[in-house]
Amino acid sequence: MDLINFYNQKKFSILIGIILFIILAISVGCIFLPTIFYDQFIWRYFWGPIVSDAMGYSIYYNGIQAEEKFTLVSELVYGLLIVSILFALYKLLERWNISVNWIFCLSIIPYIIAGSVTRVLEDSEFFIEPLVYLFITPIIYFQILLWFLFFLTIGYFIQNKFKINYLNLNSILFLGGILFLTPFIYFTIQRIFRNSLGNNNLIRFDVFLLVILLVFSIIFIVFLVSKLFKKYKIFAIFSKPLNLAMITGHMIDAIASYISIYDPLKMGIPSYYEKHPASDFIMNIWPPLFPIVKFILIILVIYIFDIVYKKEFENYPRLVNLLKIGIFILGFAPGLRDLLRVLMGV
């Protein structure tokens, strides 16, 4: 019983301790057994793909090939890392008594867009070495996380120190994101116009509008059904902003990926390929299956959160909404990147 109480009181410290131990063990392994720990693990699954992404082609180190794509190992590790970060962020927001709701989600949209925009700029060879490595997945998202935490801290301090009604944490967080995003938006627009003037075939507004139209149609139908049958809880939950945001984010990802990779309407889109093994596996079975599976999975996730375990989660609204925002980001960020890549002809 004492051990259980100790764990419940020190969960965050234990998590940090485990992470630090893993980092220390890998570091020691890289020093004394570099062939196993660095060549076969760090290089093959993590650093090698980042360098390959920067170079634009497959590369070798000590005979080990690295490609510009994710593997099951890297996706598993990054997934565990995301869960750990979300948990740490949840504990921070809980300690500072910061509400996590639809307004909070809107305030962090600029940071999410910044991640996608900077990735597309990197894809278009806008950045040069060594700066380019700061804008490759997952490094760019860690960088954006630090900017988010920086403005979150500033917002929390100002809100509690000066008590200015119109200058609350969410507004400061949003303005900080806009400040970070603005130069990258400028560079992106500049590049779009330059490509448009140089070669009209590079800019694909038609594909961009097609994806947006399809996603909007799906969201409109979901919203309409939820309102028409709002007396039934199983339908009413799909009109909630965060739930619609999750569906929107993953539909952008799924439809943009499907159209850009397979060009089902024969629009003359440049050839793309899928970097994620699970998504690639599904599309190899039947390409349209990917957006269908994504839609069904998000519907199930929402159903589990808001119907199956609603009572269990009633006392943890901050955690539930944070998880929903995390799911939204996992769809929207790569989806927007794919969409912008097609638009810019990258």
Same domain, 208 and 192: no
Same domain, 53 and 153: no
Same domain, 295 and 159: no
Same domain, 224 and 242: yes
Domain-ending residue, one of 198, 214, 232: 198
Is the pLDDT reported for residue 254 higher than 90?
Answer: yes
Same domain, 273 and 337: yes
Least confident of 15-19, 27-31, 168-172, 174-178: 15-19
- The secondary structure of residue 101, as a DSSP letter, is S
Same domain, 53 and 105: no
The predicted structure's pLDDT at residue 320: 94
Residues 168/155, Cβ–Cβ less than 8 Å: yes
Q: Which two tokens stand for residue 8?
A: 């419940």
Same domain, 162 and 144: yes
Domain-ending residue, one of 90, 124, 156: 90
Same domain, 153 and 272: no
Same domain, 220 and 294: yes
Same domain, 161 and 79: no
Q: Which pLDDT tens digit goes with each residue over 128-175?
A: 878 888 888 888 889 999 999 999 999 898 888 776 666 688 989 999
Q: Supply the range of the domain harboring residue 220.
A: 204-346
Same domain, 180 and 139: yes
Helix H, strand E, coil C: the string for 74-89 is: HHHHHHHHHHHHHHHH
The predicted structure's pLDDT at residue 64: 86
Query: ω into residue 138 within 30 of 0, thus cis?
Result: yes
Number of domains in the chain: 3
Same domain, 345 and 212: yes
The predicted structure's pLDDT at residue 1: 47
Q: Which pLDDT tens digit goes with each residue over 63-76?
A: 888 887 788 888 88
